[in-house]
Structure 1
Amino acid sequence: MDWDKLRIFHAVADAGSLTHAGDVLHLSQSAVSRQIRALEESLNTTLFHRHARGLILTEQGELLFDATSSMNKRLDAAAARIRDSEEEVFGELRVTTTIGFGTLWLAPRLPHLYEKYPDLNIDLMLEEKVLDLPMREADVAIRMKEPSQADLIRKRLMSVRMRLYATPSYLAKHGTPETQEDLTNHRLICQNLNSEQVGAGATYVQTLLANNVTSMLYVNNYFGVLQAVIHDLGIGVLPDYVIQDFPDMTRVLPDSESAEIPVFLAYPEEMRQSKRISAFRDFVQEEIIAHRKQLSQKENS
C-alpha cells in the first residue's frame, strides 16, 4: 500500500475535508482528491461518504483510519526517541495521572523540573481513565495501582493512605471527634462511592459512612474535597500527600486510615532510552525523597 496515499488519507479523515487537508499538506484540493480516488481504486472500496458539509468515513474508512492512527502514534514515538539527544532534554512529554495527584502533588512541584530543563514541555493530562501507554496515548503515567498493560517499564514510587483532615478553625467551632462514631456530629467531605477512585479509598469511605454520618458533601475529585475542607465545610477524606503543602491542616482520628495504596510510574519499553522520560523519572524520585524527609520532620516535631 502506498505510504504517501495513506498519509493523505489520514489527513483528509482527520480534517473531514479535502480543502482543509490540502492546506495542512500544502497540496491543491484536486491533488488530494486524485490521491484519495487512487487509494479507493487500489482497495476496491469507498472510504468516504461525500456530503455538502464535508466527508464522513465509511465503515471501511474507519478501519483504515484506525490503522493509520496507530501508525502515526508509532512514528511519533520513533521520532521522539530520535530527537532525544545524548546530552539535552527538550521537546514535549505527555504525562498522565489522576486529578488529585496531578493537581495536589505533581503540578506544584513542576517549577523544579522546568528550572532544570527549560526546553522541556509537559503536557499534563489529568483524568481517572487509564490511558494506553503502548498505543502512545501518553508517554509516561503515574498511577495509584500497578499497571497491568504489557510492554511497560514500571517502578514503585511510594505509598499513599487516605486519612481524615480538617482545619483548626473548623475543629475549634465544631469540636474534635474522638472516635469514628463521633463523625455523626460532623459533615464528612469525600468522593462519591460511584466516582472513579482506588478501591482502598472507596472501602475506607464505606467504613466511615457506617457510623451514621448524616451530613455529607460529595466531590468527584480530591482537589474539590481539599477546597471544601480549607473553607471549613467539614472533615475531609484526603490522601496523606496533601499535608506537605498544607501544614496547617489537622489530622483527625490519627488511628484511622485506609489500606496502603501503591503509586507506580510507568512508561513504554520502547522509550527506555528517552532522555525526557529519564529526566522526569529522576525529578519525581527526588521530589518524593524530599517529601518523605519533610513528612518525617513533621511527625517527629
Structure 2
Amino acid sequence: MMWRRLPPSRMLVMFEAVIQCGGVTRAATTMNVSQPSVTQTIRQLEEHIGVPLFDRTVRPLRLTEAGRLLHEATYSGFNNIISAIDEMSWLKGSSVRPCTVAAPVGFATYWLMPRLAHFSAQYPDYPVNVLTTQEGAPLLSPRVDIAIRFGSGPWTDGQSDNLFDERIRPVCSPALARKSTDNNIPFDNVTLIHVEFNDSRWTSWDEYLQMTQRPKRGIRNSLHFTNYVQAAQAALDGRGLMLGWRSITYDMEREGRLVPMYGDAVAAKDSFVLVRKFDSRNKSVELLAGWLIEKAKCY
C-alpha cells in the first residue's frame, strides 16, 4: 500500500517545524521538545528517505535539493489537510462557509468593498472576508478562496477570469483644479502625489510622462506615500495631482470628488483578473466569483 512508503508523520511534522521556525532551536521550543530530540528526528527522517535534507555546512541550515522537493510536498499536503478539516467543520453545521478574497489594498478599498455591500444585501447568508495585500498578485492558499490580481498572467494555480482593463489619468480635487485654472498654474508647478512600489506593474509618474511624451519632472513639488489609500486621501484633500487608476478613483470621479486634470487617459500594461481555486466545494466562492465578474462587465 502507498502509505507503507511514507515516513512516520511525526518526522514530517518536525521537518516542517524546523523550516517554519528557521532552525532546530526555535523548532524545539515551538514543539515543546528538547533540541537533541529534534535533531534525532531529522536524522531518522533522512535515514528513512536515504538522502540528506539539510546542508549542515552553512548557518543557518539550508535545504538541499532533496529537502526542497520534500518541503514542497509536505507544505502542500499539510495545507490540504487543514483545508479539508476546515471544510468538514462547516459540514457539521447548517451555515455557509465564508469566502475569503485577497486583493491589493487600493482595489479592495475603492472597488471591492463598495460592491460587496450590495452583494451582502442581496445574499445575506453568504459571508465574505477580505484580506488586503500590498502586492499586485496575491496568492491562493487554504485560507484564500479568490485572489484579485493585477497583471498579465498566465496563472495556472486556479481558474482565471478577466475583470477589466486598467486606465490611468491624472486627477485632483475640484478645488485644486479651479485654483490651477484660475491662476494659470503650469503642470511643472503642481505638486505630484507619488506612490512608492517595488512592483513594476504599477505605473509611476515617470512612466506616465514617458507614455504621454512629456518631459520628465524633477523631485521638487512632490509627495510620497506607500499605498493608494493614502495617496487618494491626499488628492481628495487638495494636496496635489495623483495618477488616477480606474480601479481606485473611478467612483470618486463619477461622484465629482476628483476630476481629470493636466493629462489624457492611457491604457495600463496589465488588467485585473479574478483567480479562484479549481473545483472549489465552497458555494460562496462560485456565487461571489460569478457576481463580481458580472458587475465588472458594467464597469
> TM-score, length-normalised on structure 2?
0.69
Query: What are the equivalent positions in structure 2 for 1:116-265 lying under 5 Å apart?
Result: 116=123, 120=127, 122-133=129-140, 138-175=144-181, 182-191=186-195, 196-198=200-202, 203-207=207-211, 210-211=214-215, 213=217, 215-241=221-247, 242-245=249-252, 247-253=255-261, 256-259=264-267, 262-265=271-274
Query: One-letter code of the match for 1:175?
Result: T
218-227 vs 112-121, which moves further: 112-121
Alignment partner of 2:238: what SS? Answer: coil
Instruction: Determine the structure 1 residue equivalent to 2:7.
Output: 2
Rate the CA distance shift 1:211–1:279 in 2: closer, same or farther, 3 A: same
> TM-score, length-normalised on structure 1?
0.69
220-229 vs 33-42, which moves further: 33-42
- Cα distance in 2, alignment partners of residues 82 and 38 from structure 1: 33
Rate the CA distance shift 1:121–1:177 in 2: closer, same or farther, 3 A: same
Query: What are the equivalent positions in structure 2 for 1:7-156 lying under 5 Å apart?
Result: 7-15=13-21, 16=23, 17=26, 19-22=28-31, 35-36=41-42, 38-44=44-50, 59=64, 64-79=70-85, 88-91=95-98, 93=100, 95-113=101-119, 116=123, 120=127, 122-133=129-140, 138-156=144-162
Alignment partner of 1:281: what SS? Answer: helix
- Cα distance in 1, alignment partners of residues 35 and 196 from structure 2: 52
- Cα distance in 1, alignment partners of residues 279 and 289 from structure 2: 16
Q: Which runs of 5+ in 2 are unaligned?
A: 1-5
- Cα distance in 1, alignment partners of residues 206 and 94 from structure 2: 44
Contact 1:166 1:236 in 2 (8 A): yes
User: Aligned pair count?
Assistant: 280
Identity rate of aligned residues, in percent? 23
Query: One-letter code of the match for 2:208?
Result: Y
1:127 Cα offset (Å): 2.2
Contact 1:147 1:266 in 2 (8 A): no
Instruction: Determine the structure 2 residue equivalent to 1:267.
Output: 276
Q: Deviations over 1:19-60 (max 9, x none)?
A: 54445xxx899987775553243235666799xxxx956646
Equivalent of 2:287, from 279, 284, 292? 279
Instruction: Determine the structure 1 residue equivalent to 2:3.
Output: none
